[in-house]
Structure 1
Amino acid sequence: MTGGVIKRSIEIAGHRTSVTLEDAFWNGLRDIATARGSSVRSLVAEIDAGRGEHNLSSAVRLFVLAYYRDEASGTTGRRKKSSGD
């Protein structure tokens, strides 16, 4: 597994914000966005809109974890359909 923490600036709803994630989470986020035919920026905006009280970096980590847990259990396709994707 590769290394450290990477901080990136992303524009969401017209303002720039920084997101700090481990490389594995950036890779997972990119792969999920690609699988959905989306961009990382729009996926992060979607996560931001539904994150509640979690900070954005934590919300992204939880989203990536949930995606891969669903994928491992075979429920990823059902989750997409139920969320309107």
Structure 2
Amino acid sequence: MALVKKRSVTIRGHRTSYSLEQAFHDDLVAIAAARTMSLAALIGEIDETRPRGSNLSSALRLYVLAWAKGQHS
């Protein structure tokens, strides 16, 4: 079973945290590299587009899933 690790990031000038399993975090890092952007910038983009009131950690997981399925922009 994968352990969830809490991480912090600064996006748009404010500090926030999210909790992800290592595999999801590794994929986010790889996606950011593939898009030639920082991890913080990618998380900021995902944060801006997630539905209001939804959980950032869940939005990050769903983004990784969509990317893996080829449903990314």
Q: Decide: shared fold, TM above 0.5.
A: yes
- Which residue of 1 is the match for residue 44 of structure 2? 45
Off by >3 Å, runs of 4+ in structure 1: none
Larger Rg: 1
Instruction: Tell me the SS of whatever aligns to 2:69.
Output: helix
Instruction: Tell me the SS of whatever aligns to 2:37.
Output: coil
Instruction: Tell me the SS of whatever aligns to 1:58.
Output: helix
* Residue segments in structure 1 that go unaligned for 5+ positions in a row: 71-75, 81-85
- Deviation, 1:13, is 1.4
- Which residue of 1 is the match for residue 61 of structure 2? 61
- Deviation, 1:5, is 1.0
Number of residue pairs aligned between Structure 1 and Structure 2: 72
1:1-85 matches, within 5 Å, as 3-53=2-52, 54-70=54-70, 79-80=72-73
Output the amino acid matched with 2:11.
I
* Residue segments in structure 2 that go unaligned for 5+ positions in a row: none
TM-score (norm 1): 0.78
Deviations 1:4-59 (A, max 9, x none): 11111100111100110000000000000000001110000000000013210000
RMSD: 1.5
Identical amino acids, percent of aligned pairs: 49
The structure whose residues are more often helix, as a share, is 1
TM-score (norm 2): 0.90
